[in-house]
A = this chain, B = another copy of it.
Amino acid sequence: MGAQGTHRVNTTERLAKLRELMKKEGVDVWVVPSEDQHYSEYLAHCDERRGFISGFNGSAGCAVVTLEKAFLFTDGRYFLQAEKQLDDNWTLMKQGLPDVPTWQDFLHKNLDGSLKIGIDPTIIVADDAAALRKNLEPKQSELVLLRNNLVDEVWGTDRPPKPHNPVFHLDEKYSGQSFTEKIEKVREILEKEKAKAVVVNMLDEVAWLFNLRGSDIDYNPVFFAYSVITKDSTVLFIESKKLDEAARKYLGDAVEIRPYEEIFDYLKSLPGALGLDGSKDGPKILVPNKASLAIVESISPSPPSATSSSSPPPIYHKIVPSPVADLKAIKNATELEGFRQSHIRDGAALARYFAWLEEALNDGKEVNEWQGAEVLENYRKELVLFKGLSFTTISSTGPNGAIIHYSPDPKDCAVIKKEQIYLCDSGAQFLDGTTDVTRTWHFGTPKPEEIRAFTRVLQGHISIDTAIFPTGTTGFVIDSFARRALWQDGLDYRHGTGHGVGHFLNVHEGPQGIGVRIVLNNTPLKPGMTVSNEPGYYEDGQYGIRIENIVLVKEAETPNNFGQKGYLGFEHVTLCPIQTKLVDISLLTEQEKKWLNDYHKEIWEKVSPLLKNDTRALEWLRRECEPI
């Protein structure tokens, strides 16, 4: 995500100020990761520290500033953008290229001497910091943890304010479960794990747990907060004035509200309050594996000097995959029904937009990518329960479609061309669900190779949609279904096939997903999980193709049940036609043809009733849903 900006910032003064502060604090290096305190994928503007100090505002990267030099580490998706945005103060480190170290390895492999490496412990994951510390040991380099973030000091009054947006209660007719029931389930996990407390650090997990929503981060209906659950207490760390009256009433006496900043002091006193003994096998405080070093250091502080201690320091915490993430990933019946309903409405807006766009292009009107996205957003705004977009709309013509993280710059974007493939990836937040859908259109005469690639992508999409698999199967194992048809032609795509999707929450959520990252092999797909199904193909400089639906994991009806474990499949909820003009029917099996016709019939039945007042969209939908 993030705009493909070309704006170059002069960072000379910023770096000079930072180095001054570094000298004052006695550190040789200052590290600026991308993360906020909650390991959020999308950041509030006040947390875009790496963007501020380096000028590079892509979503992934890490800045390493020494007293003499400055290095910006990022991956292949962002080489071009970083080259455009970084000024001469910076050396771009292209991670993934041979002989280019990660920023972590760089600190102990490429920098000489014993160094004091400063970092803000609230924005580095504890496990990552531990690995880093271990690698730094042989050179006697060390991490220096500074809670006053030096970049924030440089930023000063220009730094955007921390958001203070209101937090509201999501009615149980949408969430389907009271927060007290959810907390009861968390306590069952504590019981099972023989643990005494759990820290909740991810913003979407806090929002889900308390049936609260906010708007502190664009596109993500979350708010800055932490929570700690023990057997007897539920503490929500939040700026209390954010909670509106209904939210406060909803939480009632069951939840203790404390100031956001108090989390660390609270955690410091928690082992004592819980009577933990710090022994190896004693009860622990569960800490999610994406929690910050500051959280872990608050619970189990490092001994003052690693060498002087004779006995091992007490350990009061245990790092685990977040139990709340696992609970949240499995949607309840109300949430699933909300997904279905919100996708019907979303389908109406999509039909209206694509019908409008087709007519506009046929009429020779000039529509640029950003204008197209605006029209789509306006149609969505008319929908009931609409609460905003779920991410920046990707509206891209021709070659721009091959840039996977493209989004049009309102001031500088391409005009949508009738004779180029148009790729549109968009989504919305509704009170009853979150949508994320990609469709690829050709409004003129597609080239044979475009039709061929589109058909292969479609076959991969259908293969996931129709897959049945035994309970226990992971998204890593079925990913190859999405690629098989493309591979037959020597084609592939360099992204995952599907990400988890939150319920009126982040459009990307874990731990579930379909893809080639081995970590996805740790999470079996379970009934009630939601994932996207989005194979694609990208021809650099030419076009991009992606077909994306959201699917729900559900129990499958099979004539047998070998192994007695039950079989699972998917239910698609996205309802938008797939352009048959781009399909080479001769490549499809009978089963695939039937799937496409059945899908279009379903769309027509569910979405057409919502288009009574838009004849153009209705006629467009009728035509696009015709059987092949």
Measured CB to CB, the residues of A under 8 A from B are 467-470, 477-481, 484, 486-492, 494, 516, 518, 521, 537, 556, 558-563, 567, 589-591
Contacts and interface: CB of A to CB of B under 8 A. Distances in A.
B487 A484 contact: no
A584 to B, nearest CB: 13
Nearest to A567: B490
A445 B589 CA distance: 30
16 contacts: A467-B484, A467-B487, A468-B488, A468-B490, A469-B480, A469-B487, A480-B480, A480-B481, A490-B556, A490-B560, A490-B567, A491-B560, A491-B562, A492-B563, A589-B590, A589-B591
A336 to B, nearest CB: 23
Contacts of A470: 487, 492
A81 to B, nearest CB: 22
A567 B487 contact: yes
A491 to B, nearest CB: 5
A222 B591 CA distance: 50
Copies per assembly: 2
A478 B467 CA distance: 15
Contacts of A521: 518
Given A468-B490, A490-B561, A537-B562, 6 more contacts: A469-B480, A470-B492, A490-B562, A492-B562, A589-B590, A590-B590
A495 to B, nearest CB: 13
B589 A559 contact: no
B484 A558 contact: no
Most-contacted residue by chain B among A481, A558, A560 (CB, 10 A): A560
B478 A559 contact: no
Contacts of A481: 480, 484
A594 to B, nearest CB: 12
A472 B537 CA distance: 19
A489 B559 contact: yes
A490 B481 CA distance: 17
A487 B473 CA distance: 11
Nearest to A492: B562
Nearest to A478: B480
A556 B567 CA distance: 34
Contacts of A562: 486, 490-492, 537
A357 to B, nearest CB: 29
A537 B559 CA distance: 15
A591 B556 CA distance: 26
Nearest to A477: B480
A490 B591 contact: no
Contacts of A486: 562
B590 A490 contact: no
A489 B558 CA distance: 5
A463 to B, nearest CB: 8
Those 7 A-B pairs whose CB atoms lie nearest each other, nearest first:
A490-B558, A490-B560, A589-B589, A492-B562, A491-B562, A468-B487, A490-B567
A560 B469 contact: no
Contacts of A590: 589-590
Contacts of A559: 489-490
A489 B561 CA distance: 8
Contacts of A561: 490
Nearest to A561: B490
Contacts of A492: 470, 562-563
Contacts of A487: 467-470, 558, 567
B589 A489 contact: no
Contact of A560 (B468, B479, B489, B558): B489
Contacts of A484: 467, 481
A494 B487 CA distance: 27
Contacts of A558: 487-490
Nearest to A566: B490
Most-contacted residue by chain B among A486, A516, A562 (CB, 10 A): A562
Nearest to A559: B489
Contacts of A488: 468, 558
A160 to B, nearest CB: 40
